[in-house]
């Protein structure tokens, strides 16, 4: 088992990475304020993994209740969130009840936000079951839901007490979802880890073949990178924004097409290509750099062209982005592969990037 520590003074926690962690209750029980948990999952993941988790918890005398939500990005809403509150209140769950998120990033984000606000805050644990959730969404405490007018517009920074990344759950992950997670993996190489980007170029075929050794290494490296960045800037006042590479464009794609049409990772991949074209417009990365990014994304089974939404539609959607400051849209751009920064772009540069990076889907 590999363990990454997120060293936040007010809320340090461990991220354990290994196969068959679901039943290792000894990792969970010492953290509980009372021997009662509520597992939040969805209609796809629960039939696969809920029973073994629940049986292990109950064998350790921990009282379990489960909430099974509908599956999909389109359900990351206030209505679905209220289903969690309805169940917690019906079961008379107290402030010492721990919520456990068993699923991908949608479940993790909603469960974390529910934990942040239910009775003004109850503890929660992340058990991420997608690659994307294991390398990104389960770590760092960003929680929340979508709004029709914007992605992740309602939420809170609220840290889990523990993250259990059980590699065995990736055995059942659909290939499209594995690819989606690879977008966030590749993102870490581009933002500030060129050595990792180069390792990914050399190992992408093994990763897509789900070889446990390389998957475990990549997940650990991603969690180490995210833990380092979050420990230095938990509430995204500075460097944490680099984790948003590709997201200014990417969230516009998700909102513009309708949540769920493109997977988050697919939108981020296309968004990173658009950020790369914008960086090239600023003479910061080369055609060869763009070719390397494109090749790696393609080998990961990801889109390298963004959908045509119309320039004004993109600009309008991006004007809603949470990084906007004094009305100015902010982008994460690349000085070179492995070095990124936050900057503004002229309308002309944005349109040049869209012209280069969009194609009818």
Using CA atoms, how far apart are residues 12 and 14, in angstroms rounded to an integer? 7
Site string for ligand LNCXM5UN, 102-141 (x = CB under 6 A): ----------------------------------x---x-
CA quadruple 40, 140, 159, 52: dihedral sign: positive
Contact flag: residue 248 with ligand NAD (CB under 6 A): no
Helix boundaries (H) for the chain? 46-59, 78-90, 105-117, 131-132, 175-192, 194-208, 212-232, 247-257, 264-281, 287-299, 311-318, 347-357
Nearest to 179 by CA among 250, 131, 248: 131
By C-beta, is 169 or 349 nearer to ligand NAD? 169
Question: Please, which residue, 129 or 284, has the CB nearer to ligand NAD?
Answer: 129
Among 76, 161, 221, 240, binds ligand LNCXM5UN (CB under 6 A): 240
The binding track of 257-276 with respect to ligand NAD, each residue x by CB under 6 A or -, is -------xx-----------
* Residue that the structure tokens 């050595």 belong to: 195
Query: Which residues lie across from 336 on neighbouring strands?
Result: 339
Of 181, 350, 207, 327, nearest to 275 (Cα)?
A: 350
What phi and psi, each to the nearest 5 degrees, are found at residue 41? -140, -165
247 binds ligand LNCXM5UN (CB under 6 A): yes
| CA–CA dist 355, 314 (Å, integer) | 12
Out of 15, 62, 73, 253, the only residue in the binding site for ligand NAD (CB under 6 A) is 73
Among 83, 130, 159, 244, binds ligand NAD (CB under 6 A): 130
| Beta strand pairing call for 150-157 and 124-128 | unpaired
Q: Does 132 bind ligand NAD (CB under 6 A)?
A: yes
Of 128, 86, 82, whose CA–CA distance to 108 is shortest? 128
Options 83-91, 237-245, 254-262, 278-286: segment touching ligand LNCXM5UN (CB under 6 A): 237-245
Enumerate the active-site residues.
Answer: 120, 142, 184, 226, 236, 240, 244, 247, 251, 264
Q: Binding to ligand NAD (CB under 6 A): which residues in 134-193?
A: 136-137, 140, 142, 152, 169, 172-173, 177, 180
What is the binding site for ligand LNCXM5UN (CB under 6 A)? 136, 140, 142, 152, 184, 236, 240, 243-244, 247, 322
Summarize the annotated binding site for NAD(+) as residue ranges: 71-76, 105-109, 129-130, 142, 151, 169-172
């Amino acid at each position: 088992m590999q363990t990454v520590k997120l060293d936040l003074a007010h809320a340090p926690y461990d991220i354990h990475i290994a196969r068959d962690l679901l039943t290792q209750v000894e990792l969970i029980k010492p953290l509980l304020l009372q021997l009662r948990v509520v597992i939040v999952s969805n209609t796809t993941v629960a039939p696969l993994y809920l029973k073994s988790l629940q049986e292990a918890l109950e064998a350790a005398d921990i009282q379990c209740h489960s909430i099974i939500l509908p599956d999909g990005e389109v359900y990351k809403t206030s209505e679905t969130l209220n289903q969690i509150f309805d169940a917690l209140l019906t079961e008379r769950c107290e402030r010492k009840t721990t919520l456990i998120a068993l699923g991908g990033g949608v479940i993790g984000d909603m469960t974390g936000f529910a934990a942040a606000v239910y009775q003004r805050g109850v503890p929660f644990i992340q058990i991420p079951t997608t690659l994307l959730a294991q390398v990104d969404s389960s770590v760092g405490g960003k929680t929340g839901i979508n709004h029709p007018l914007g992605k992740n517009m309602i939420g809170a920074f609220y840290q889990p007490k523990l993250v259990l990344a059980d590699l065995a759950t990736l055995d059942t992950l659909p290939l499209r979802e594995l690819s989606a997670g690879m977008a966030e993996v590749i993102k870490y190489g581009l933002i500030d880890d060129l050595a990792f980007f180069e390792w990914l170029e050399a190992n992408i075929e093994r990763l897509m073949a789900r070889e446990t050794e390389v998957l475990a290494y990549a997940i650990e490296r991603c969690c180490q990178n995210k833990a380092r960045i979050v420990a230095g800037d938990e509430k995204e006042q500075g460097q944490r924004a680099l984790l948003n590479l590709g997201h200014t464009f990417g969230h516009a794609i998700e909102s513009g097409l309708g949540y769920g049409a493109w997977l988050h990772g697919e939108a981020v991949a296309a968004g990173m290509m658009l950020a790369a074209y914008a960086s090239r417009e600023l003479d910061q990365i080369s055609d060869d750099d763009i070719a390397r990014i494109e090749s790696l994304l393609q080998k990961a089974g990801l889109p390298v062209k963004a959908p045509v939404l119309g320039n004004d539609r993109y600009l309008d959607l991006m004007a809603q982005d949470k990084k906007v400051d004094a009305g100015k849209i902010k982008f994460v751009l690349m000085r070179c592969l492995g070095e990124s920064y936050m900057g503004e772009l002229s309308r002309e540069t944005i349109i040049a990037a869209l012209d280069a990076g969009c194609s009818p889907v």
